[in-house]
Amino acid sequence: MQRVLIANRGEIALRVIRACRKAGLETVAVYSEPDANSPHIWVADTAVCIGPAPPLQSYLNGDAILHVAKAESCDAIHPGYGFLAENAAFATACEDNGVTFIGPSAASIHTMGDKAEARRAAIRLGVPVVPGSKDSFVDSQAASDAVSDIGFPILLKARSGGGGRGMRVVENAAAFEGQFRQATAEAAAAFGDGGVYLERYFSRVRHIEVQVLGDGTGQAVHLWERDCSTQRRHQKLVEEALSPVLDAATREAICAAAVSLTGGINYRGAGTVEFLYDPAANEFYFIEMNTRIQVEHPVTEMLTGIDLVAEQLCIADGRSLSFDTPPPPSGHAIEFRINAEDPARNFQPSPGRIEEWRPPTGRGIRLDSHVYPGYHVPTFYDSLLGKLIVHGADRPDALAKSKLALSRFAVSGVETTIPFHLELLDDPDFQTGNIHTGWVEARAE
């Protein structure tokens, strides 16, 4: 590889461009009209506008992105996360046009992107799965026939995509049809696929994900787990590693299960295998695999010292990983998502012009962001302004450093989630790790 097009925007585009530059690769940025003043287009060697604000006419326009890649003599495309990162058709189109897709094969994306197919793969490889339907559904009657084998409460999940879209909890049979229709409609609007599948719903579980890397030939390695249990409406707010609740034996078992699945499907590149963990029973269940780099990948980088984007580039270029076995985890790392949202108004989006932007600095503090004073937060895309990642000698040290860093993070012009994070850090349950995936909502009631 010599020249890489970055098919994304915001902080992840900037992050990938910097990794490419460090690897000696030229970069081409693409941007929509509202992103004309985004830093990633200044840092890249070349930048090309690909269309107006709507994602379908810009960042989701695979034909336009491929056209730019070929016109600019790019031999690879890095999709970042979101947009086209988990689009099997786009991965196939890249390969058909002689452009390396810096990610897994289209077959892996298809298998893991279809939640029902992913469950079948996990079962075949001996990975425990959440009790649920064998197939996905678009018809409520057919779906309701499968409920009796699972039992209420039921979790409806979109067959394609993630991020909480197309997801509904159904408490009883009377609510099933209405919730099913809402889930299929939301899934169809978000992913162009209204199919959903059914899972047993657990009310007090944790969300544990294992970072994995595969070489595409059946060899895979893990880089430990991240605990993503602090969520709101199935959207992650805080991620940390290692998980404060896993014992050594469970950690070994869950990481081994992730490696078994990754190697078993000949996965290539970076990904995460996601599990529900029931602390009361000390049991874990596979729920899905994200076939891309994650928003929260810096947590693992701070924990292990491994540059995950650099490893993606190596794998895509046909080279070996820089390590054979997981490096021992060092200390504790926590990531706080700084969004342009108003916690006092039910996290209502807060677009506008950034007047002041003074992030904290210091040892063990990292900020991944594309924001600067004068930057205008658009209404068309995700509200993420940046990710504050804090590393400490252990979890109490990381929490103490986090509180100091967040209290020194000065932002004005838009509302942010910083006050929410400071509130979390003062909560005794969060301090002790006594939380679950529904804890944030329960705490607000």
How far is 320 from 220, CA to CA, in rounded Å? Answer: 11
C-alpha separations of 316 from 50, 103, 167, 296, 320 in Å? 25, 7, 33, 21, 10
H-type helices in 265-375, by residue range? 297-304, 308-316
Which of 420, 299, 294, 295 has the alpha carbon at shortest distance from 350? 420
Which of 360, 376, 367 has the alpha carbon at shortest distance from 413? 376
Asked if 292 is an active-site residue, the reply is yes
How far is 426 from 228, CA to CA, in rounded Å? Answer: 18
Written as six digits, the tokens of 86 are: 């988990």
Residue bearing tokens 């336009």: 64
How far is 22 from 320, CA to CA, in rounded Å? Answer: 17
Backbone conformation region of residue 422, classed left if phi is above 0, alpha if psi is from -120 to 50, else beta? alpha
User: Residues with Cβ < 8 Å from 108, sequence gap 6 or more?
Assistant: 265, 266, 267, 268, 291
How far is 402 from 409, CA to CA, in rounded Å? Answer: 10
Q: Which of 119, 292, 337, 366 is catalytic?
A: 292
Written as six digits, the tokens of 39 are: 């830093």
- Contact (Cβ atoms closer than 8 angstroms) between residue 58 and residue 84: no
- Contact (Cβ atoms closer than 8 angstroms) between residue 442 and residue 429: no
Written as six digits, the tokens of 315 are: 């794998």
Residue type at position 79: P
| Residues carrying an active site annotation | 292
